[in-house]
Amino acid sequence: MTGSSGGRDGRAAVAVGGLWRIATFRAAFFLCLWLVLAGVNPADLPAAAAAIAAATWTSLHLLEPSRSRRSVTAMARLALLFLYQSVVAGVDVARRALDPRLPLRPGLVVYPTGLSRGMRRNVFTTLTSLLPGTVPTGEENGQIVYHCLDIEQPVVAELAAEEAALVRALYND
């Protein structure tokens, strides 16, 4: 029997196999999410199957699988950095709100991001919007404008550290 195991058809088979692996992973994620939110009830199986299939299909079309590898170590560091900064910033905001001797110096800070417009920048602004004390408010000349509770703090340096950690964790192409 003669046949080619390589070439164009072999690459297509690998690509399809990789797509099935990613689809299976995402379906398993949506199944876990369903179980956490709705619990285990055999009567819900048809609805769960339909919801998981629809969510998986939608995720594959809206967030196409990429060939880049995600760094688990970098993602863990990003999560720890985010948790640390959330706690520190939350305590700082609470102190400033409760202690009248600590002045608030609100204002706008322009951050010159290196991320292109689109999904990458949206992920970054979403992540930074969750940190207490800073809120992205828009763009100016391609840069992100943040409202801060204290403009004398090293906001730009902290945002740069967040951006670098995000790039290391998610976008190692």
Cα–Cα distances in Å, from 9 out to 3, 19, 67, 143? 11, 15, 19, 45
Check whether 7 has a pLDDT greater than 70: no
Look at 23 and 131; give whichever has higher pLDDT.
Answer: 23
> Can you tell me the mean pLDDT for 134-149?
92
Rounded CA Rg of the chain: 22
pLDDT score for 51:
94
Segment 108-134 shows an average pLDDT of 87
Q: Residue 50: CB partners within 8 Å, gap ≥ 6? A: none
Between 139 and 102, residue with greater pLDDT: 139
How confident is the model at residue 70, as a pLDDT?
66
For the entire predicted model, the pTM comes to 0.55
Q: Across all residues in the chain, what is the average pLDDT?
A: 81
Give the model's pLDDT for residue 9: 41
Question: Please, which pLDDT band fits residue 16 given cuts at 50, 70 and 90?
Answer: low
What pLDDT score was predicted for residue 112? Answer: 94
10 Å Cβ neighbour count for 61? 8
Per-residue confidence (pLDDT) for residue 136, from 0 to 100: 94
Residue 100: alpha-carbon gap to chain centroid: 36
- Tell me what pLDDT residue 2 has: 42
Compute the distance between CA of residue 159 and CA of residue 165 in angstroms, rounded to an integer: 10
3-state secondary structure of 140: strand
Nearest to 82 by CA among 164, 22, 19: 164
Residues 150 and 105 sit within 8 Å (Cβ to Cβ): yes
pLDDT in tens, 52-74: 999 999 988 887 776 556 667 87
Find the farthest-apart pair of alpha carbons in the chain and give their distance in angstroms, rounded: 85
Q: Is the pLDDT of residue 25 over 80?
A: yes
pLDDT digits (tens, 9 = 90+) for 154-167: 889 989 988 988 88
* pLDDT greater than 90 at residue 172: no
